[in-house]
A and B are shown apart, each in its own frame.
Chain A
């Protein structure tokens, strides 16, 4: 069997006395698209942020292509990773945020070439060529010289996706990327993600409240509740016939609201 792309092994996360994730085990295969759903506060964002090294972990190991993320092997033992190791592993991961987090003092194009030039050492021409391909893919090529404040939320989020892709990550994390958007702009962003899934062999982890999208797009759905995976499975089965009482409640509540 091939090695999984990402694996969480008994991962625990606490904030003070609050245990946010409790012995989480989750394995994601190469190219797999996993939708993470669940009520607010159940720890979905925390899972992505730990993988992006934005949060420390209090127990367990996260591996990316077999390599531990926050630890490294030295003399057969696991020791806390140094900055160089973390940056090496982190290079495989990209993230798109709920609030876009574009750099407001840079144009769309500048947003997309900053890291490729500074981190990957690409020349300006190479970085721009790569960025323009991606901006084209997300339908933003004609807005390359616009500043974020001159773009709509949906457009900003598409630029943010291009910016993350410009680093050629193997895993993409999406944290409720349509939640901050006006309803009429949600579609254009989901369309881009669909296209991405179809054209690239990316591994994707997405936290989403768009149940229809999760059902149609994901290979697998993980339902989180109170820091645990309550139920996971193939979307058709999960959405039509949830096994767990909590999943049923959650789906009922979401369907009523939407």
Chain B
């Protein structure tokens, strides 16, 4: 987490006291002026993103990423918001996934069985250092290894899917509990009364 982000986070007194903003992980800081590649992702890339978003946040007793419009959100960020360097990491990641699929099964990624798709995605999960597992979680949040610009494809994809879902109207109001005007503060409120998170 860079100095600027600690500065920002440290100012927040409120409930989200330590939540590092999503912007940190998404942000690289470099190459800000690179012209965005205008237009849409290729149809193939769009289909792969749909499959991936659905794998990460599927429909359960609440709607999943597809219904919440996450693929469109990912496309918007990748095409209009990402720097050229970030976009390259992301698009290369998509291409690599498809290439692996073709070399393993001679099929494009979207043509695979869901179990095969999940297997390929799971293979991208980074091996976590011991300090990132539970115990010293906070260190991991605050001082993650590596610069933001180097965040690999898999983590970018997961972060975008999560952000797109939980900040969507569906994620905010159906998966989480949306209470824009609580009217009171109760510091002893019990989780069991709602059983899920407030939308923050």
A, B from the same assembly:
no
A residues neighboring B (CB under 8 Å):
none
B residues neighboring A (CB under 8 Å):
none
